[in-house]
Chains A and B, each alone.
Chain A
């Protein structure tokens, strides 16, 4: 059985003299989730549009499951569901009829359609609205239907461009759960939520100024670029006075301790998880009123900030 795949070879998109995506070479293969990261304007959406036939490459090729999208979009996307930016649905259709249209186009067997649509609408919590016209929906409600639209068939590949755009906090966490539950397929998802990506993806590709910076597992990217530094915020049950801050800052491996407000101290440390573990237990043993210990930077965030310069 062939593995699902996405492949870009020399993929380039220019608008006049401006190059939005520049000679991108990337091959993703297998059943896993790959996060697609990069600052605003990096070229993530542009890349995904070339993978879904919304725009044509200036140069190079985008292949889905081994088929060139430009040469034969129908074949390339036969087993690929997509959600690019924030699509609009024909305003006079209901979620149910819009999803029925896609089920028919995608070839979901007739007897499966109703069940699949019910399930998909259930997953995005839109059953209550299934027979109302989409035209009157809020942005987030529409996006929920868009997310549901990727769950109708059983595609081997799913391309998601910032799927939680416009969703409320619960919606974001629901999308996270949905993506996690997709399993057994190749999910390629762009996102600015590094926590979300760390949570649901095994690998990341980072892009900046249209150029691919790195494609590797999150563990490798973190190990290679994040260093072993970490940061945490310590919460106290009572005001932490100078002597407490001084005692904390003397702990082994600590680089810096700064009181951010009377009951919170932010610390930076070296030595990765082993240091973090030791710090945590030492703080608890100090009996100075420590009630919380919250990691404030993840490895992926550190790596991202190191790799992506502050230019736009």
Chain B
């Protein structure tokens, strides 16, 4: 193409470096935007309340040991919620906003593939979410070291890794949603409602009524983040006990990781395909 340029300043840029460029500037945009600070405040609030509650009430089962129980309460109970909120805030409108806010008109009519834009934005959202998770992990860890000096269970590390895998999949899922809808508000809402409520309801209904394992569900899979901090790891299947008891399924670690990986791959492909097809009308 350079033969046709006026004086040859336009050169072909590799798609890989374009992905880096999009990621860099999308991240800058996240980093300087209100939403990122809103997430920081949410994490600081949850972390602050926990720190205060542990210090003030000193719940025996948590602060007196074993350490695993502490990390289960401090990290396992909240990290999924924090991950879902980050995925929603950083990913829920990543693509729809390009249409709704017309920023796509600045970025898309350039010699860059749409897939490079999609992947670059996804990496930026992942970076922003990871910062949030790391911050929360830091708060929990500082508390943990205070109550259990020198005793950090290896399961806490595993749980962090699982949370990372979950955020990778949840962001891919949210991106696909944001490529499906044109309205940012709708894609964020749909994503949050699905991940926080709908999946859980379906999981329960399917288990109770149809007695099938919810292997199709990402919220079933993310149970491993909290369950790895339980001692022992809960049984894969618990039959209904008593008159009003309900059967429960718990994803094993390989199962959970597999489901999340499948979610990542499938929603990434669907989202990329939707974005390629989508038209900048209006």
Residues of chain A having any CB pair with chain B under 8 Å? 1-4, 15, 49, 52-56, 65, 73-80, 82, 84-93, 97-98, 100-102, 104-109, 112, 133, 146, 149, 153-156, 159, 184-185
Contact B112 A84 (CB under 8 A): no
Does B60 interact with chain A (Cβ within 8 Å)? no
Contact A153 B33 (CB under 8 A): no
Residues of chain B having any CB pair with chain A under 8 Å? 1-13, 15, 17-18, 21-22, 24-26, 28-33, 101-114, 279-281
Residues of A within 8 A of B31 (CB): 92
The distance from the CB of B131 to the nearest CB of chain A, in whole angstroms, is: 16
A2, B276: Cα distance in complex, Å: 30
The distance from the CB of B2 to the nearest CB of chain A, in whole angstroms, is: 8
The distance from the CB of B236 to the nearest CB of chain A, in whole angstroms, is: 46
Measured CB to CB, the nearest residue on chain B to A56 is: B279
A112, B3: Cα distance in complex, Å: 19
Contact A65 B102 (CB under 8 A): no
Q: A88-B101, A155-B6, A156-B5 are in contact. Are A104 and B13 (CB under 8 A)?
A: yes
Contact A155 B5 (CB under 8 A): yes
Measured CB to CB, the nearest residue on chain A to B108 is: A54
A86, B101: Cα distance in complex, Å: 11
Measured CB to CB, the nearest residue on chain B to A76 is: B111
Contact A79 B10 (CB under 8 A): yes
Q: A54-B279, A104-B21, A105-B111 are in contact. Are A91 and B106 (CB under 8 A)?
A: no
17 CB-based A-B contacts, threshold 8 Å: A54-B108, A73-B111, A73-B112, A79-B1, A79-B4, A79-B6, A80-B111, A85-B102, A90-B29, A93-B29, A101-B21, A101-B22, A101-B25, A102-B110, A107-B111, A154-B6, A154-B9
Q: A73-B111, A90-B26, A92-B32 are in contact. Are A2 and B6 (CB under 8 A)?
A: no
Q: Which of B17, B32, B111 has the most CB of A within 10 A?
A: B111
Measured CB to CB, the nearest residue on chain A to B103 is: A88
A78, B6: Cα distance in complex, Å: 12
A155, B11: Cα distance in complex, Å: 10
Binding site secondary structure of chain B: loop
Contact A85 B105 (CB under 8 A): yes
A55, B105: Cα distance in complex, Å: 11
A230, B26: Cα distance in complex, Å: 55
A91, B106: Cα distance in complex, Å: 12
A254, B32: Cα distance in complex, Å: 66
Tell me the number of A-to-B contacts counted with CB atoms below 8 Å: 149
A205, B252: Cα distance in complex, Å: 66
Q: A49-B280, A56-B279, A78-B10 are in contact. Are A89 and B106 (CB under 8 A)?
A: yes
A88, B101: Cα distance in complex, Å: 7
A287, B160: Cα distance in complex, Å: 94
Contact B1 A97 (CB under 8 A): no
Residues of B within 8 A of A89 (CB): 103, 106
The distance from the CB of B68 to the nearest CB of chain A, in whole angstroms, is: 41
Contact A106 B110 (CB under 8 A): yes
The distance from the CB of A74 to the nearest CB of chain B, in whole angstroms, is: 5
Measured CB to CB, the nearest residue on chain A to B33 is: A92
Contact B1 A65 (CB under 8 A): yes
A79, B12: Cα distance in complex, Å: 9
Residues of B within 8 A of A91 (CB): 29, 33
A178, B252: Cα distance in complex, Å: 64
Contact A82 B109 (CB under 8 A): yes
Contact A106 B13 (CB under 8 A): yes
A292, B7: Cα distance in complex, Å: 46
Residues of A within 8 A of B29 (CB): 90-93
Contact B10 A88 (CB under 8 A): no
Q: A2-B4, A55-B279 are in contact. Are A105 and B110 (CB under 8 A)?
A: yes
